[in-house]
Amino acid sequence: DAKTTQPNSMESNEEEPVHLPCNHSTISGTDYIHWYRQLPSQGPEYVIHGLTSNVNNRMASLAIAEDRKSSTLILHRATLRDAAVYYCILRDGSYNTDKLIFGTGTRLQVFP
């Protein structure tokens, strides 16, 4: 399974933008780039995903490099509630092998 590399931790101030990087140099053509986050004492929750093009939703934006070997999750204005562990995951989009393989993620701290 393809792996991802993320910084262990990052810090931000409230209401500032946050750019969370992820390297995935061994990505294959059928791998989707998924981001999940885990708030304290909760199960992971979906944030965003993409295949080749940049994506936006109400929670965040996902910027994908042209060669797909890296991506960046962008939180446009961090809030205290965004403090969580963020996981970048390569998800095989094939029907028979669909599963998520988690890494250790990036712990985001947000300061008032």
Partner 1 sequence: DADVTQTPRNRITKTGKRIMLECSQTKGHDRMYWYRQDPGLGLRLIYYSFDVKDINKGEISDGYSVSRQAQAKFSLSLESAIPNQTALYFCATSDYYSSGGPDTQYFGPGTRLTVL
Q: How far is the CB of 32 from partner 1 (least distance, A)?
A: 7
Range 38-57, binding partner 1 (CB under 8 A): 42-46, 49
Q: Closer CB to partner 1, residue 14 or residue 38?
A: 38
Options 73, 87, 90, 108; binder of partner 1; rule CB under 8 A: 87
Instruction: With beta carbons less than 8 A apart as the criterion, state whether 87 and 61 touch.
Output: no
Options 21, 74, 93, 109; binder of partner 1; rule CB under 8 A: 93
